[in-house]
Amino acid sequence: MHQSILGGKDILGAVQKWGTAMAFLLFPAFFIAANLLHPNLLHPKALTNGAAWIEHFRGQSGLHLAHVLEFLSAPMLMIMAIQYMNRLRSRMPWLSFIGGMLAIFGALMLVGNKSALCLTLSAFDTLSDHQLAAMAPGLDVLLQRKGWLIILWFLPLLPLGFLLLGVALFRSAMVPRWQAVLIILGSAMLLNPEIEIINLAASIILMIAFLPYVFTLLKEDANGEKISKTNVNSDRFATGHPGRPGSTELPSVNESKDKKDCGSIVCRSP
């Protein structure tokens, strides 16, 4: 029973470790792909009214897919923020807490933004041209964040939170300083009025910053300690017979005799 519980904890720890590592890998990958899928990447146009917005998303299946990828990035960002908060708790408690909470709240705003203003566009795109043109006034109020959509203006708290986490990482030296600098730089670049080419560059910078941390996570055990051969061997000897973890079998008479005969530095054979 005890061994089955320990085995379950090992499986859960492995799932958590791999899930966290995949979040750090997939978030920048999703954002890179999403920005590449945006139309007019090199020649962005300002969306000032519903009619211009219709022209922007009409028949753009790639844009709708980009919005799905950005929507799916939100839970990964929450996992990443919680991971940094836990790691920085003892070294930079307040800065990591504030940065993490801002990032998590900003990730919720990302969910709201992509749900209300982006995924709905894929449904509107199924309407006829006449029906869609009649909806232009309704799209105006969405574009202007009228009503309770006003809370979506808090979306910049997401990159601001990761910027503060980057500062905490830099000051604590929990990761190499160059990685922390890239996190700060990439997060600062995302504080722009949704210019896709800048977002693309920021996503690439964040990919470079996060990728080494993915390998660091995969080299650790469930307790966040680096796995080494020495640790594995010490666990085996601590739990019982060498090479048989968890065994309580006593050494045989021959083994005891061998240990006595080999008590000196040089073990002589008979």
Q: Model confidence over 82-107: pLDDT tens digits?
A: 999 999 999 999 999 999 999 999 99
Residue 266 lies in a domain: no
Give buried/exposed letters for 227-244 (b at 16+ CB in 10 A, else e). eeeeeeeeebeeeeeeee
Give Cβ neighbours of residue 269 (< 8 Å, ≥ 6 apart): none
Same structural domain, 33 and 77: yes
CB 203 within 8 A of CB 28: yes
Residue keyed to tokens 């997939």? 26
Q: Are residues 131 and 206 in the same domain?
A: yes
User: How many separate domains does the chain show?
Assistant: 2
Q: Which amino acid is at 211?
A: L
Q: Could you tell me the pTM of the whole model?
A: 0.80
Please state, as a whole number, how many other Cβ atoms lie within 10 Å of the Cβ of residue 55: 12
Q: pLDDT tens, 49-68?
A: 999 999 999 999 999 999 99
In-domain check, residue 47: yes
In a domain, 106, yes or no: yes
Query: Do 193 and 61 belong together in one domain?
Result: yes
- CB neighbour list of residue 80: distance below 8 Å, 6 or more residues apart: 20, 23, 24, 27, 103, 162, 210
Question: In this predicted structure, what is the pLDDT of residue 47?
Answer: 87
Do 185 and 248 lie in a common domain? no
DSSP category for residue 92 = S
Cα 50 from Cα 136, distance rounded (Å) = 5
Rounded mean pLDDT, 233-254 = 47
Q: What whole-number distance in Å separates Cα of residue 50 and Cα of residue 134? A: 10
Query: Given pLDDT bands bounded at 50, 70 and 90, which one contains residue 131?
Result: very high
Please check whether residues 184 and 246 belong to one and the same domain.
no
Of 267, 262, 66, 85, the closest CA to residue 169 belongs to 85
Whether residue 20 is found in the same domain as residue 147: yes
73 in a structural domain? yes
pLDDT at 220: 84
Any domain includes 61: yes
- 62 and 121 belong to one structural domain: yes
Looking at the fold, whether 39 and 171 belong to one and the same domain comes out as: yes
Identify whether residues 233 and 149 lie together within a single domain: no
120 and 172 within one domain = yes
Q: How confident is the model at residue 246 (pLDDT cuts 50, 70, 90)?
A: very low
Strands (E), the chain: none
Question: Does 62 reside within a domain?
Answer: yes
Domain match, 70 and 178 both: yes
Per-residue CA distances from 75 to 36, 72, 116 (Å): 21, 7, 17
Domain assignment present for residue 41? The answer is yes
Quick one: 68 and 167 in the same domain?
yes
In angstroms, the CA 56 to CA 45 distance is 9
Domain that includes residue 248, residue range:
229-261
Is 239 part of any domain? Answer: yes
